[in-house]
Amino acid sequence: MSWRDNMRRGSIRGVPFSVQTQELEGGRRVARHEYPGRDKPWAEDLGRRARTQTLEIFVLGPDYMAARDALLAALEQPGPADLVHPWLGAMTIQIESYRLRESTRDGGMASFTLIFTEAGARQYPAASRDTQSLVRSSADALDAANAADFTARWQTDGQPGFVVEDAAGLISRAADAVRALAGRWPGVPTALTSLYSRITDLQGAANELARSPADTANGIIDIVNGLAEIFDDPLPALELYGELHAFGDDVPVVGGATPARMVQASNQQALTDLVRVSSVAAEARAATTVGFETSGQALAERDRIAERVAALAAGAADPVRDALLDLHVAARMDLAERAAALPRLATFTPAETMPSLVLAHEIYGDARREPELSARNRFRHPGFVPGGEPVEYLS
């Protein structure tokens, strides 16, 4: 097939024309930087230049004037134009200028020189909400409100020795709870060592901290947040925070109705609330960096945070309750938006026993995804996946 056979009949906005020559000008957009005292410049590449083309076209014949006028009308219409380029095919262009030539020597013909550029697309900056930063700032605000509330409720000044001693024991119990949870996972060695060191320091200073509620609050919140730091991907930390939310359930109930015993019971509840509220703040903060695999995982975490916030907000003071609700709104927005971009976990039940390679092709249309399918379902024998049993896959 010759080059002539590959050429198309040219037209612009549906008006046909014949062509003589074309020229194409392009290149790169370059910002040239020249510096005092330096002989060599630096050329900064800013992207491809818009391609500018020149077409020499014509219409001819006994009724060429009608064709000329139709072409003039097409060239002067506003906006981008659809062009069938004889060499390059269909494209959308923006006409910049044209020049018309007619002469008595070339009677019956009108020649045009068209200069145009590619139209491109009008694009606007896309705005997006940084929902993860909003969660983190809401968690920080909750930590501040939680610490202030604990400081106002904690009472040891002027109290009997057994009240102060019990307060120190509560601080040590909270530290032990965090230590026990951290010890269940290998974690990043340096982060784990750092967390254990902070826990030990907190317990060693428990007697002094019992008389300093602000320092106690900051110390407890610090080690609670430290649980997420021991993981590269803090997905396991979410489970640990869920267990920490139950802190205080096994603390013996304070008996008696004397003023000192009432203060002792109040301190116990204050420390329990401190740990639980700080755990939900830390959980929401950690969830912003978790790489959820499926939308179901993200939505399940959203629901868990909502459930914990609801339980804590019911009996919280106004500043803490407001901060809890703000965190709930931020976490719900963040996890819902991230879930929408994640694959959904689905199931497929093969009708008969088949190799996992065939099953991967059946589900995905791509047998190369068999390792993913096998890893998720842990087939006993990849060559014989039993029929009639559901198989999980990411849709």
Q: What are the pLDDT digits (tens) for 204-214? A: 999 999 999 99
User: Average per-residue pLDDT in the chain?
Assistant: 89
Find, among 60, 160, 152, the residue nearest to 112 by Cα: 60
The percent of residues in the chain predicted with pLDDT above 70, rounded, is: 99
Whole-model pTM over 0.75: no
Residue 394 has pLDDT above 80, yes or no: no
Q: Which of the listed residues 118, 152, 172 is the one where a domain comes to its end?
A: 118
Q: Look up residue 361 and give its amino acid.
A: H
- Pull the structure tokens for residue 142: 């909750």
Q: Count of domains in the chain?
A: 3
- Do 185 and 303 share a domain, yes or no? yes
- Do 233 and 299 share a domain, yes or no? yes
Does residue 171 lie within any of the structural domains?
yes
Residue 317's pLDDT band, with cuts at 50, 70 and 90, is very high
Does residue 362 lie within any of the structural domains?
yes
Residue 185's pLDDT band, with cuts at 50, 70 and 90, is confident
pLDDT in tens, 353-377: 888 888 788 877 888 888 877 877 7
Quick check: 330 and 134 in contact, CB under 8 A?
yes
Q: Which of the listed residues 341, 358, 373 is the one where a domain comes to its end?
A: 341
Plot region of 5 (φ>0 → left; ψ -120 to 50 → alpha; else → beta): alpha
- Do 179 and 306 share a domain, yes or no? yes
Does residue 37 lie within any of the structural domains?
no
- Do 78 and 174 share a domain, yes or no? no
- Do 20 and 73 share a domain, yes or no? yes
Q: What is the mean pLDDT of residues 41-50?
A: 90
Does residue 127 lie within any of the structural domains?
no
Alpha-carbon gap, residue 86 to 248, rounded angstroms: 81
Query: What pLDDT does residue 122 have?
Result: 78
Residue 92 has pLDDT above 80, yes or no: yes
Question: What is the SS3 assignment for 78?
Answer: coil
- Do 142 and 274 share a domain, yes or no? yes
Alpha-carbon torsion angle 293, 299, 301, 305, nearest 10: 160
Query: What pLDDT does residue 232 have?
Result: 84
Query: What pLDDT does residue 383 have?
Result: 79
Residue 141 has pLDDT above 90, yes or no: yes
Can you count the helices (H) and strands (E) in the chain?
13, 11
- Do 318 and 351 share a domain, yes or no? no
Backbone φ and ψ for 168, nearest 5 degrees, come out as: -65, -40
- Do 102 and 168 share a domain, yes or no? no
Range of the domain at 104: 10-31+42-118
Q: What is the mean pLDDT of residues 89-110?
A: 90
What is the full DSSP assignment across 195-242? HHHHHHHHHHTHHHHTT-HHHHHHHHHHHHHHHHHT-SS-HHHHHHHH
Query: What pLDDT does residue 342 have?
Result: 87
Does residue 194 lie within any of the structural domains?
yes
Residue 219 has pLDDT above 90, yes or no: yes
- Do 288 and 187 share a domain, yes or no? yes
Q: What is the mean pLDDT of residues 162-183?
A: 92
Does residue 5 lie within any of the structural domains?
no
Does residue 112 lie within any of the structural domains?
yes
pLDDT in tens, 101-133: 999 888 889 999 999 998 888 777 777 788 999
Query: What pLDDT does residue 172 have?
Result: 93
Q: What is the mean pLDDT of residues 299-317?
A: 93
Query: What pLDDT does residue 327 have?
Result: 95
Quick check: 368 and 320 in contact, CB under 8 A?
no
Q: What is the mean pLDDT of residues 318-344?
A: 93
Residue 169's pLDDT band, with cuts at 50, 70 and 90, is very high
Q: Which of the listed residues 314, 341, 368 is the one where a domain comes to its end?
A: 341
Q: Which of 125-134, 258-267, 280-289, 310-319 has the lowest mean pLDDT?
A: 125-134
Residue 1's pLDDT band, with cuts at 50, 70 and 90, is low
- Do 285 and 360 share a domain, yes or no? no
- Pull the structure tokens for residue 270: 């204050």
**Based on the number of CB atoms within 10 Å of its own CB, is 139 exposed (0-12), middle (13-18) or buried (19 or more)?**
buried
Does residue 1 lie within any of the structural domains?
no
Residue 173's pLDDT band, with cuts at 50, 70 and 90, is very high
The percent of residues in the chain predicted with pLDDT above 90, rounded, is: 55
- Do 155 and 229 share a domain, yes or no? yes
Residue 299 has pLDDT above 70, yes or no: yes
- Do 66 and 161 share a domain, yes or no? no
pLDDT in tens, 12-37: 999 999 998 989 899 999 999 998 98
